[in-house]
């Protein structure tokens, strides 16, 4: 398996498992992390949103 193939992620348009990472940003005051991908087969671009990791206690300073 190459770094561009992950069985748990695929293009929502064509279901291809090869994609390129395009961008990442934190949204809604740090509550979520959005990641943008582009399919290597059909060039469809999509965003995936996941909850942001909790902040560490020493990061609050």
7-25: per-residue pLDDT in tens? 578 899 999 989 998 888 8
> Residue 1's pLDDT is what?
47
pLDDT surpassing 70 at residue 44: yes
- For residues 43 and 58, what is the distance between their CA atoms, to the nearest angstrom? 41
For the chain, give the percent of residues with pLDDT over 90: 31
Average pLDDT, integer, range 41-58: 86
Residue 50 vs residues 5, 35, 40, 47: alpha-carbon distances, Å:
19, 8, 22, 10
Q: Which helix (DSSP H) or strand (DSSP E) does residue 48 occupy?
A: strand 45-51
pLDDT for the residue 59:
55
Instruction: Note the pTM of the prediction, 2 decimals.
Output: 0.68
């Amino acid at each position: 398996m190459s770094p561009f193939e992950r069985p748990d992620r695929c293009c929502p348009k064509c279901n291809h498992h090869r994609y390129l990472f395009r961008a990442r940003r934190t949204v809604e005051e740090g509550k979520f992390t959005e990641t943008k991908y582009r399919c290597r087969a059909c060039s469809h671009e999509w965003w995936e949103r996941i909850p942001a990791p909790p902040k560490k206690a020493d990061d609050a300073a």
